[in-house]
A and B are shown apart, each in its own frame.
Chain A
Amino acid sequence: MEIKKGIAVSPGVSIGKSLIIDSEDYRIPRREIDPSQRAAEIERARNAFVGAVEELVKLERGPGEAAGGRIKDIFAVHLRYLRDRSLRRKITDMVHAESVTAEYAVSTVLREIASKFTNVKDAYISERAADIYDIERRLLRQLLGHKREDIGRLQEEVVVVARELSPTQTATFNKAFIKGMATDAGGRTSHTAIVARSLGIPAVVALEDLTEIVRGGDTVIIDGNRGIVIVNPDEETIRQYEVYSREFVALEHKLDTIRAKPAVTRDHVRIKLLGNIEFPDEARVVLEKGGEGVGLYRTEFLYLNRPTEPIEQEQYEAYAEVLRVFADRPVIIRTFDLGADKYTQSRRVAPEPNPFLGLRSIRFCLQNLAMFKTQLRAILRASVLGQAKVMFPLITNIQELMQAKMILHDVMEDLDEEGIQYNRDLEVGIMVETPSAALTASTLARDADFFSIGTNDLTQYTLAVDRGNELVSTLYSAADPAVLRLIRMVIQDAYKAQIEVSVCGETASEPEYVMLLLGLGIRTLSITPPMIPEIKQVIRSVTIEDCNQLARKVLAMNSERQISGYLRSAARKILPEAF
């Protein structure tokens, strides 16, 4: 039995058999096998070589001929490497001598060779390391490919263990069978955390070397309340956790009973509670949990896990499905927030050196007009089915907003000419998630129908902290005075301009922040669906007067530690079970 401590990012407890997902981009973790499995592992390595050779022979005969001699030479070199007996022997010897998996041996041996090249001073030779990495990837695809496909076709319940999960990987999950997630990397706002919360399954991240300890099929307990993962627990521990898990479910049920009750404070102030969704099938979860609409419909899923662009009709159906579920209640559709960690980098010939400050989100859309217009067309066409609103992400200045709105009008004119119906009064809002947007909120408010504060990016850009980097993630906190002052500024400017302002970042889903946000003037929160009952419970337990007082106190504080400590103790008084 081994106990690992990480960061709890999605509540709940799961006990299950582990499924390990390896990623192409990361070092394959060292995993030892039973000596009796060595022969089978060596056979896997051999088959990987055979499969990779077949793949290359096909490629060599393929349309590459037109590409000229160079590409052919590259394939020819790779083929000779894959047929090199001394290379195969090196790998099988390692599996045999160290009792490790074929993928670990492949990765280690080839990276050793690559590092030899990298260390040569001659630029031409050192660049050959890229060829070796390519060969490594080809072999790893052979070894891991089937496993990866299996994720979509899972037949039994598992807990997923990985170094880190990419949006592409989670998009392929067969969600019915995933009971929990645990990753080596990541923080409170990593992709894994967001997906786990939206699915309502427990998750723990930042476990550092978990993938080196767990083997596929091991029994693993994921405690998403305390941030603990237990590998191969003893019977006593399993029994304790089964009891604990039942108690937790009981609390969840208690919260479910308030589902039908309104989100109103004790002094009768009505708060609008909306859900953040990533896939159309989550719309029903929002309703089940008592949400009153969708405050953030992320549309990137349309782009993930597919080689081609989603056509207009496909997008239309994805938007229509959600609009029909909500009928006369609002659904805010956010235009593609691609780039940075999502989608665009892996397709670039040369990755951007600093993608979070690069061509992402609205910038990417404004440079890819055909794609942007297709999405706006699909949204407009679907807008007649319900209360759709459109929202542009990562606006940093007024020109971007004007340009995006102009393109929207172009698309409207096109639809007019074609005689296609759409909602002419479609509301257009923006995400306020950069310091520049927050500082110029009074200007932006003149041309926006609503603001939605995206606290994740706002925090990251204000504090200059990469939220996914474990080395600095402790510096990432929306309770930092700098972030709070910006949030207050945005709310005040929205009030002055008389437009609606909501919060759709992760902080809105955290009970300890709710009082503060209400005290700052927020009346609309958009949160991850499974958290709706709990946040409603918080709302129903407070008065706006208490919240205002709390906000005044917090704004007078100078350090993040003081503020987050104060918020936590205030929340513990309201909802002791959740802490």
Chain B
Amino acid sequence: MQVGDEVLDKLVRETTVEIRNAAGLHMRPAMLFVDIASRFESDITVSSGPTNADGKSIMQMSMLAATCGTRLDIRAEGPDAEQALEALRELVEVRMFDEPPP
């Protein structure tokens, strides 16, 4: 952790996750993602290739149209960035949105 970030009360963290459930990031997974992202104070941006989406907007998240196997870059910016990334990674890669793999 950098000292400067601590002082500004603002952390920036990034990670990459892979969509592993068969049906991809359709409506219901997008909803779960947004619900978890919205619990955190940090701003969350999700990128698929050149497209960026606000991790708290279901419209923008679902429009990423990420299919199984797609890699998403998640960037969190704010005091709870670390916890946010951890929770989202768990949802996408471990719980796989509570959906079956291919």
- Contact across chains for B24 and A124 when beta carbons are under 8 A apart: yes
Closest to A80 in B: B58
B27 at the A/B interface (Cβ < 8 Å)? yes
Q: Which residues of B contact A76 (CB under 8 A)?
A: 31
The A-contacting residues of B in range 46-61, CB under 8 angstroms, are: 54, 57-60
A269 interface contact, C-beta 8 A:
no
Query: In the docked arrangement, what's the CA distance between A77 and B35, Å?
Result: 11
CB contacts (< 8 Å) of A120 on chain B: these are 65, 67
Residue numbers in A under 8 Å from B63 (CB-CB): 113, 116-117
**Chain A 62-81 against B: per-residue CB contact (8 Å), 1 yes, 0 no?**
00000000000110110011
Residues of A close to B57: CB separation below 8 A? 84-87
Residues of B within 8 A of A128 (CB): 26-27, 62
**In the complex, are the beta carbons of B65 and A113 less than 8 A apart?**
no
Assess whether B67 is in contact with A122, with CB atoms less than 8 Å apart. Answer: yes
Contact status A86-B26, CB under 8 Å: no
A125 and B65 contacting across the interface, CB-CB below 8 Å: yes
A86 and B28 contacting across the interface, CB-CB below 8 Å? no
Q: Known contacts being A124-B23, A124-B26, A125-B24, is A81 close to B58, with CB within 8 Å?
A: yes
Shortest Cβ distance from residue B67 to the other chain A in the assembled complex, whole angstroms: 5
In the assembled complex, B11 has its CB within 8 A of some CB on chain A: no
Whether the Cβ atoms of A77 and B27 lie closer than 8 Å is yes
Min distance, Cβ B44 to any Cβ of chain A, angstroms = 13
A393 to B18, CA, bound (A): 60
A278 to B97, CA, bound (A): 56
Residues in chain B near residue A117, CB distance under 8 A: 62-63, 65
Are A125 and B28 in touch, CB under 8 angstroms? no
Could you give, for residues 67-84 of chain B, a 1 whenever the CB lies within 8 Å of some chain A CB and a 0 otherwise? 100000000000000000
Which residue from chain A places its CB closest to the CB of B62 in the assembled complex? A128
- Nearest Cβ distance between residue B45 and chain A, in whole angstroms? 13
Residues in A neighbouring B25, C-beta threshold 8 A: 125
Residues of B within 8 A of A87 (CB): 57, 59
**How many B residues touch the partner, as a band?**
10 to 19
Secondary structure call for the A interface? helix
Q: Does A510 contact B (CB under 8 A)?
A: no
SS class of chain B's interface: helix, strand, loop or mixed?
A: helix
User: B34 on the interface (CB 8 Å rule)?
Assistant: yes
Q: In the assembled complex, which residues on chain B have CB atoms less than 8 Å from the CB atom of A116?
A: 63, 65
Considering only CB atoms, which chain B residue lies closest to A127 in the complex? Answer: B26
B30 nearest CB neighbor, chain A only: A77
CB of A545 closer than 8 Å to a CB of B = no
Give A498 to B10 CA distance when docked, in angstroms. 96
Residues of A within 8 A of B59 (CB): 81, 84, 86-87, 90, 113
Q: Cβ of A131 < 8 Å from any Cβ of B?
A: yes
- Chain A residues contacting B54 (CB-CB under 8 Å) are 86
Give Cα A122–Cα B25 distance, bound, in whole angstroms: 11
**Chain A contacts for B60, CB-based, 8 A:** 86
Known: A81-B59, A87-B59. A73 touches B67 (CB 8 A): no
CB of A534 to closest CB in B, whole Å: 58
Asked if A77 and B28 make an inter-chain contact with CB atoms under 8 angstroms apart, the answer reads yes
Residues of B close to A113: CB separation below 8 A: 59, 63
Chain B residues whose CB sits within 8 angstroms of the CB of A84 once the complex forms: 57-59
Interface residues of A in 114-134 (CB under 8 A from B): 116-117, 120, 122, 124-125, 128, 131
Q: Which among A73, A74, A122 has the highest number of chain B CB atoms within 10 Å?
A: A122
| Alpha-carbon distance between A74 and B57 when the two chains are bound, in angstroms | 16
A124 to B27 alpha-carbon distance, docked (Å): 10
CB contacts (< 8 Å) of B35 on chain A: these are 80
A404 to B62, CA, bound (A): 53
Residue with the greatest number of chain A CB neighbours at <10 A, chosen from B24, B26, B30, B35: B26
With CB as the reference atom, state the residue of chain B lying closest to A69.
B28
Within 80-120 of A, Cβ neighbours of B (below 8 Å) are at 80-81, 84-87, 90, 113, 116-117, 120
Q: How far is the CA of A87 from the CA of B26 in the complex (A)?
A: 17
Known contacts: A73-B28, A76-B31, A80-B34. The answer to whether A125 contacts B67 by CB under 8 A is: yes
Q: Closest B-chain residue to A90, C-beta based?
A: B59
Q: What is the chain A residue whose CB lies nearest that of B38?
A: A80
CB distance from B96 to the nearest CB of A (A): 15
- Collect the chain B residues with CB atoms within 8 Å of residue A125's CB: 23-26, 65, 67
CA distance A120 to B67 in the complex (A): 9
Residue of B nearest to A126 (CB): B65
Question: Cβ of B28: which chain A residues have Cβ within 8 Å of it?
Answer: 73, 77
A116 vs B64: C-alpha distance in the bound complex, in angstroms? 9
CA A120 to CA B62, docked complex, whole Å: 12
A558 CB to closest chain B CB, in angstroms?
A: 57
As a 0/1 sequence over residues 12 to 42 of chain B, the CB contacts with chain A under 8 angstroms (1 = contact) are: 0000000000011111101100110000000
Measured CA separation A80–B30 after assembly (Å): 10
Chain B residues near A85 (CB, 8 Å)? 57
Q: Is the CB of B58 within 8 A of A77?
A: yes
Let me know if B58 and A122 touch, CB within 8 A.
no
Q: Is the CB of B27 within 8 A of A122?
A: no
In whole angstroms, what is the CA distance A122 to B24 when docked? Answer: 9
Interface of B toward A, CB cutoff 8 Å: 23-28, 30-31, 34-35, 54, 57-60, 62-63, 65, 67
The 27 sampled A-B contact pairs (Cβ below 8 Å) are A73-B27, A76-B31, A77-B28, A77-B30, A77-B58, A80-B58, A81-B58, A81-B59, A84-B58, A85-B57, A86-B60, A87-B57, A90-B59, A113-B59, A116-B63, A116-B65, A117-B63, A117-B65, A120-B65, A120-B67, A122-B67, A124-B23, A124-B24, A124-B26, A125-B25, A125-B26, A131-B27
- Known contacts A80-B58, A131-B27, then 17 further A-B pairs from the complex at CB < 8 Å, ordered by chain A residue: A73-B27, A77-B31, A77-B58, A86-B57, A86-B60, A113-B59, A113-B63, A116-B63, A117-B62, A117-B63, A117-B65, A120-B67, A122-B67, A124-B24, A125-B24, A125-B25, A125-B26
- Which 10 pairs of residues, A with B, have the shortest CB-CB distance? A80-B58, A120-B65, A77-B27, A86-B57, A122-B67, A87-B59, A124-B23, A84-B59, A77-B31, A125-B65
